[in-house]
Structure 1
Amino acid sequence: MLNISTLNPNLIALLVLLICGVISQNTTIIIACALLIILASLPVAQPFLPYLEKYGLNWGILLLTIAVLTPIASGKIGSETLLKSFTSWQSLLAILVGVLVAWLGGRGVKLMSADPTVVAGLLIGTVIGVAFLRGVPVGPLIAAGILSLFYTGTK
């Protein structure tokens, strides 16, 4: 018989999140939770978790940046299109929103580093948004950036 008291509560939390991913049919949550459950369950993989925790965000940002810049490298977005970005109000607004979001993301990284107690809430909110609202998991940085606007002393 399974003894619930011997189960790791962190793995149970990941399993619940995995189930949320399955229910909402969100492959990002499913893959992330499944990989973390496997890594956390294998004693040989335990040393990699702190490394992944420390550098994973940077790797994710790097991969996301590469994905966003790939259309320029592939030629789908040429220099003419880039220059046209400065000719319409919609494109100029998009540039301003991009600047705002990047600034908020930077504030979010600082807040998450300075006040780790908010990380759990941001993660729960992001998982809910990804699993049930078809969002994408870039939310914690922007959410932390928005949250930082309500914190006094956070720059």
Structure 2
Amino acid sequence: MSVDNIPILIILVLAAIAKNHAVSVAAALLLIIKLLGFASWFSILENKGVTVGISILTIAILAPVASGRITLRDMYDSVVSPVGLLALLAGIFAAWLGGKGVLFFKTSPDMITSLILGTIVGISFFQGIAVGPLIAAGMLSIVAGLFGK
């Protein structure tokens, strides 16, 4: 095994120790792709992976609406409640941060490692989920912008 495989192997081991299945599966699949000689797929995954992943996540979130479990009345009642309005604003803010995060990943790829490691820690020890890197990158983008970086 090449020295180039050590970082993804470390992530795989940390994720397995922390019992984080999503990161374990992702790291294992990437390592398998690399070991099988399909490294050319990485550029496709980098360019389209976030979009495909967000689409799949959005499908899962919208499934109760499509199935009829959440009705138009439920949606209306949610939006007009005080907590629902806060949820609407939080959703707008999170989406905006995520968008800034995608741009930050493109302009500052050297920060990806720290953000990923932070996400693994958040997932492993604070019951987080793997959507953190985009929002974390968005927050970092804002803070870094305050310091002119």
Is TM (by shorter chain) over 0.5? yes
Structure 1, unaligned runs of 5 or more: 1-6
Residue in 1 aligned with 2:19?
Answer: 25
CA distance in 1, matches of 2:113, 2:58: 25
The counterpart of 2:4, out of the listed 10, 22, 28, is: 10
Is 1:52 the counterpart of 2:34 in the alignment?
A: no
* Equivalent residue letter for 2:83: Q
- The answer to which of 87-96 and 111-120 deviates more is 111-120
Is 1:117 the counterpart of 2:123 in the alignment?
A: no
Is 1:88 the counterpart of 2:81 in the alignment?
A: yes
Report how far residue 51 of structure 1 moved.
1.0
Report how far residue 85 of structure 1 moved.
1.7
- What TM-score results when the alignment is normalised by the length of structure 1? 0.87
* Equivalent residue letter for 2:3: P
Q: Report how many residues are paired.
A: 147
CA distance in 2, matches of 1:14, 1:117: 16
CA distance in 2, matches of 1:34, 1:86: 41
CA distance in 2, matches of 1:54, 1:119: 15
CA distance in 2, matches of 1:54, 1:81: 36
**Secondary structure at the counterpart of residue 80 of structure 2:** coil
CA distance in 2, matches of 1:10, 1:137: 23
Superposition map of 1:35-50 within 5 A: 35-43=29-37, 45-50=38-43
CA distance in 2, matches of 1:147, 1:110: 11
CA distance in 2, matches of 1:152, 1:132: 29
- What TM-score results when the alignment is normalised by the length of structure 2? 0.90
* Equivalent residue letter for 1:12: I
**Secondary structure at the counterpart of residue 141 of structure 1:** helix
Residue in 2 aligned with 1:3?
Answer: none
Report how far residue 9 of structure 1 moved.
2.8
CA distance in 1, matches of 2:16, 2:103: 32
Structure 1 residue runs of 4 or more that deviate by more than 4 Å after TM superposition: none
- The answer to which of 143-152 and 128-137 deviates more is 128-137
- Of Structure 1 and Structure 2, which has the larger fraction of its residues in helix? 2
**Secondary structure at the counterpart of residue 76 of structure 1:** coil
The structure whose Rg is larger is 1
Indicate if the aligned counterparts of 1:29 and 1:131 stay in contact, CA closer than 8 A.
no
